[in-house]
Chains A and B, each alone.
Chain A
């Protein structure tokens, strides 16, 4: 056996005086970290396999377990960090591209944390959401440039089909295959209950979930997995996925091991075949091609569905968004580079794209400068972590936000970033039946409803503090924001003033 040059990242601390040898940890760990040493009558752990997902810690009946970061160290080196050294060992071992999951863990600036929100004092009153109406209903879609009247003088309703959301939050695209059917069920049920939408991702839609169609955004990605007429017509909206914040420039990946049973049927591909989406849509090599796909999908659905175009936030995002706004799309979804993924090459995830805050601000401003902000709604995603991020995103110019990682956390995800391994102990990013059944869709839906309800309450509190009683008056209201510790350049891109100004 070759020498492993990588010392385990975590240590499993087991308090022997508490451990009752019930072996629950052993049964719960799909990574096979724990085992019982019959000879010595005690539990042992292979820490090299541990991903720090906390399943054993959370379920241990005597709280005998905890996981700590190992203090084992290389000789400290500011240039060659431990992770860099480990990655080199891994690639020297395997010759492969490093895979990673979830959003980048690198310490890039999080602009949400450098933006502060306003509140009313004296010159105008804050509004108390417990005592006054506070509205979060949001419509997504194209607005007509000019209103017209019928012969009777009444206004003609010329709105294009759109989405109506009770609160400006949607669950972002996570495919059936990358996550389990139970996770999808939980998202669908929660979306229905909350009056919002979830997104199928690129893996098609399981037949059991067609009943949630009016709360479903169906995705069409470059692999076109699971796309057929009934699928398109079942959704409330259709999203063309051009790119994803975590991996701009490449398509989705799902290893053949996860393509089993219903997943193969739903995706309409053979069992065990790797599901690798092409980097581009092979019918979209330019903006005019996008327009053709937008209208093909509208034709296929009788012009009854709004079309979203989802793009990764990249350097030239403002111009790209401007092109999309003129393509016939109704909604642009922008995904920032800190966004999550079920599997992506680590180097791409950690280095490609730009933060959502800057991309969103640039896009909103550009569309206004061009006078076409009303032609599209903007949905911002790519690491929206809490309700104040939502408030800041809307004040920067978003109509609504996508949340993915936050939704998975609500379902029990512990951000161990091992989704690509397919052994999610929480039943989310796995297709192993014994693991999937750990996630109860009803309970999961309840937790998602709680999360979004709690955020909505917090959003209302913050809006009320600003003296705003409807979310549309917050949208693009950048005067409600101030930067803290930002350079002039950053402030100018964000279109906000510094605190104290």
Chain B
């Protein structure tokens, strides 16, 4: 049987997100409780989490989470890492034996900084340097897979139900200002853990529910810019699209959302002239990055979270607020499970991004924006 990456596997899913706007740490077991309610939206073939603000002690280092299929793979990957990074700290990621999670690969974590002379020689900025290293490892070093590579954030994923995966990774021991979770319902057996979600590059992480119909148009376009879609999943290509638009093109989140879930021409025609020009320009320039077909995504990034539906809203997604906490999930029950009383609950419209950010500058965290 072919592994994920060798074939394209459509999936249905559950997703949930919690964001603390004032930065108060939220323990990982809360998101596990939330996603567990939507058990029936997953089929035990993939679950995962992304936490932000979870590594304050290594906040300046890139936290690389890596799956190794063999010790030999680990050796060659570590050789590569040694050539490109200063490794500040390395360890196995602590796990616990759980009945529903089996066949685990070796799971390692490295806190790493790019080697200064290598970085200078590459003529790239730090993030691009790291991104290229990640893509290189994932596409060229067989048996090694970097599934998390941001600063002060981390992805934890496995084949299994999300609540079992959360227990396996001992998420109750982590605290962060933002958590996203994913329960997967793939139509095929993914065969390995890399196929589980979230998908992440640098500090960007995506959990996604849907099956996009624009996949190959999007994939073939972003692959022009050095990305390699090794997993053939929607989530992977959407992450690369956002990375390209935000980091490499310098678009704002709102602009990027309007590329991915572009307003219809008929909507654009009704807008004020300057907005009309801007939206027409974006749709024209980035036409191959329009994503069609059903999707609801949670896009995590340093200091913020964006929820976005496809422009027809072909997937369920509800958002809610309680004080400084923002919640979003495929179903309302997943929010009520952890916050029964809410200040506000709404269903974001198709194509309209909901963006939340940390609302005060947190010590040590850089480039945090004001909440809108």
With A and B bound together, what is the CA distance between A135 and B251 in angstroms? 24
Output the least CB separation between B179 and chain A (Å): 27
Q: A123-B10, A155-B281 are in contact. Are A469 and B210 (CB under 8 A)?
A: no
| A139 and B214 within 8 A (CB) | no
Which of A87-95, A292-300, A446-454, A472-480 has 4 or more CB atoms under 8 Å from chain B? A472-480
**Other-chain residue from B214, B223, B312 in contact with A132 (beta carbon distance below 8 A):** B312
Output the least CB separation between B290 and chain A (Å): 5
| B312 and A480 within 8 A (CB) | no
| B216 and A479 within 8 A (CB) | yes
Indicate the member of A120, A135, A368, A467 with the most B CB atoms within 10 Å.
A467
| B213 and A155 within 8 A (CB) | no
- Asked if A230 lies at the interface with its beta carbon under 8 angstroms from chain B, I say no
With A and B bound together, what is the CA distance between A123 and B12 in angstroms? 7
**Other-chain residue from A144, A146, A470, A479 in contact with B292 (beta carbon distance below 8 A):** A470
Q: A124-B211, A135-B265, A159-B281 are in contact. Are A477 and B217 (CB under 8 A)?
A: yes
| B314 and A147 within 8 A (CB) | no
A373 neighbours in B (Cβ, 8 Å): 221, 224
A105 neighbours in B (Cβ, 8 Å): none
- Per-residue A-contact encoding for B304-332, CB less than 8 Å = 1, 0 else: 00000001101000000000000000000
Interface size class of A (residues with CB under 8 A): 35 or more
Q: Please give the residue numbers on chain B whose beta carbons come within 8 Å of chain A beta carbons, in ascending order.
A: 8, 10-12, 187, 210-218, 220-221, 223-225, 249-251, 255, 262, 264-266, 274, 277-278, 281-288, 290-294, 311-312, 314
**Other-chain residue from B215, B216, B312 in contact with A127 (beta carbon distance below 8 A):** B312
Chain A 149-167 interface residues, beta-carbon cutoff 8 Å to B: 149, 154-155, 157, 159, 162
| A475 and B217 within 8 A (CB) | yes
| B216 and A470 within 8 A (CB) | no
A-B contact pairs, 24 of them (CB 8 A): A120-B213, A120-B293, A123-B10, A124-B210, A133-B264, A133-B266, A135-B264, A135-B265, A137-B265, A143-B286, A147-B251, A155-B255, A159-B284, A368-B223, A371-B225, A373-B224, A467-B292, A469-B311, A472-B283, A473-B213, A476-B221, A477-B213, A477-B215, A478-B216
- Asked if A358 lies at the interface with its beta carbon under 8 angstroms from chain B, I say no
- Asked if A468 lies at the interface with its beta carbon under 8 angstroms from chain B, I say yes
With A and B bound together, what is the CA distance between A127 and B310 in angstroms? 13
- Asked if A466 lies at the interface with its beta carbon under 8 angstroms from chain B, I say yes
- Asked if A272 lies at the interface with its beta carbon under 8 angstroms from chain B, I say no
Q: Please give the residue numbers on chain A whose beta carbons come within 8 Å of chain B beta carbons, in ascending order.
A: 120, 123-125, 127, 132-133, 135, 137, 139, 143-144, 146-147, 149, 154-155, 157, 159, 162, 368, 371, 373-374, 466-470, 472-480
Output the least CB separation between B371 and chain A (Å): 19
With A and B bound together, what is the CA distance between A197 and B291 in angstroms? 28
CB-nearest residue of chain B to A127? B312
B282 neighbours in A (Cβ, 8 Å): 155
Q: A133-B266, A154-B278, A373-B224 are in contact. Are A147 and B285 (CB under 8 A)?
A: yes
| A472 and B213 within 8 A (CB) | no
Given contact pairs A467-B213, A477-B214, enumerate 19 new A-B contacts (beta carbons under 8 Å).
Answer: A120-B293, A123-B10, A135-B265, A137-B265, A139-B287, A147-B249, A155-B282, A371-B224, A467-B211, A467-B294, A468-B293, A469-B292, A470-B290, A472-B287, A473-B214, A473-B217, A473-B290, A476-B221, A479-B216
**Other-chain residue from B216, B250, B265, B266 in contact with A480 (beta carbon distance below 8 A):** B216
Dominant SS among interface residues on chain A: loop
| A143 and B284 within 8 A (CB) | yes
**Other-chain residue from A123, A162, A473 in contact with B211 (beta carbon distance below 8 A):** A123
With A and B bound together, what is the CA distance between A127 and B282 in angstroms? 24
CB-nearest residue of chain A to B187? A123
| A146 and B249 within 8 A (CB) | yes
A143 neighbours in B (Cβ, 8 Å): 284-287
With A and B bound together, what is the CA distance between A154 and B292 in angstroms? 26
CB-nearest residue of chain A to B284? A139
Q: A133-B264, A146-B249 are in contact. Are A466 and B223 (CB under 8 A)?
A: no
CB-nearest residue of chain B to A125? B314
**Other-chain residue from B251, B265, B292 in contact with A473 (beta carbon distance below 8 A):** B292
B283 neighbours in A (Cβ, 8 Å): 472
Output the least CB separation between A397 and chain B (Å): 8
B213 neighbours in A (Cβ, 8 Å): 120, 124, 466-468, 473, 477, 480
CB-nearest residue of chain B to A164? B284
A133 neighbours in B (Cβ, 8 Å): 264, 266
B220 neighbours in A (Cβ, 8 Å): 368, 476-478
| B217 and A159 within 8 A (CB) | no
B265 neighbours in A (Cβ, 8 Å): 135, 137
With A and B bound together, what is the CA distance between A159 and B287 in angstroms? 13
CB-nearest residue of chain B to A137? B265
Q: A123-B12, A154-B274 are in contact. Are A469 and B312 (CB under 8 A)?
A: yes
| A479 and B312 within 8 A (CB) | no
Output the least CB separation between A368 and chain B (Å): 5
**Other-chain residue from B210, B215, B262, B311 in contact with A479 (beta carbon distance below 8 A):** B215
CB-nearest residue of chain B to A481? B216
| B262 and A470 within 8 A (CB) | yes
With A and B bound together, what is the CA distance between A469 and B264 in angstroms? 10
CB-nearest residue of chain A to B7? A501
A480 neighbours in B (Cβ, 8 Å): 213, 216
With A and B bound together, what is the CA distance between A480 and B255 in angstroms? 28
Output the least CB separation between A243 and chain B (Å): 27
| A159 and B274 within 8 A (CB) | no
Output the least CB separation between B7 and chain A (Å): 9
A475 neighbours in B (Cβ, 8 Å): 217, 287-288
With A and B bound together, what is the CA distance between A183 and B291 in angstroms? 40
CB-nearest residue of chain A to B277? A157
A477 neighbours in B (Cβ, 8 Å): 213-217, 220
With A and B bound together, what is the CA distance between A340 and B218 in angstroms? 34
With A and B bound together, what is the CA distance between A130 and B223 in angstroms? 34
| A467 and B293 within 8 A (CB) | yes
With A and B bound together, what is the CA distance between A290 and B36 in angstroms? 63
| B285 and A473 within 8 A (CB) | no
With A and B bound together, what is the CA distance between A467 and B213 in angstroms? 6
B266 neighbours in A (Cβ, 8 Å): 133
Output the least CB separation between B210 and chain A (Å): 7
A132 neighbours in B (Cβ, 8 Å): 312
A472 neighbours in B (Cβ, 8 Å): 217, 283, 287-288, 290
B291 neighbours in A (Cβ, 8 Å): 473
CB-nearest residue of chain B to A479? B216
Indicate the member of A143, A473, A475 with the most B CB atoms within 10 Å.
A473
B292 neighbours in A (Cβ, 8 Å): 467-470, 473
| A468 and B264 within 8 A (CB) | no
With A and B bound together, what is the CA distance between A146 and B248 in angstroms? 8
A139 neighbours in B (Cβ, 8 Å): 284, 287
CB-nearest residue of chain A to B311? A469
With A and B bound together, what is the CA distance between A162 and B277 in angstroms? 15
Output the least CB separation between B95 and chain A (Å): 31
B187 neighbours in A (Cβ, 8 Å): 123
Indicate the member of A132, A373, A470, A474 with the most B CB atoms within 10 Å.
A470
| B281 and A468 within 8 A (CB) | no
With A and B bound together, what is the CA distance between A475 and B282 in angstroms? 17
Output the least CB separation between B281 and chain A (Å): 5
With A and B bound together, what is the CA distance between A123 and B10 in angstroms? 7
Output the least CB separation between B189 and chain A (Å): 15
With A and B bound together, what is the CA distance between A449 and B288 in angstroms? 28
With A and B bound together, what is the CA distance between A476 and B218 in angstroms? 9
10 shortest A-B CB distances, which residue pairs? Answer: A473-B214, A467-B213, A479-B216, A124-B211, A472-B287, A477-B217, A473-B292, A123-B10, A467-B293, A477-B216
B211 neighbours in A (Cβ, 8 Å): 123-124, 467
Indicate the member of B213, B218, B262, B291 with the most A CB atoms within 10 Å.
B213
B278 neighbours in A (Cβ, 8 Å): 154-155
With A and B bound together, what is the CA distance between A469 and B267 in angstroms? 14
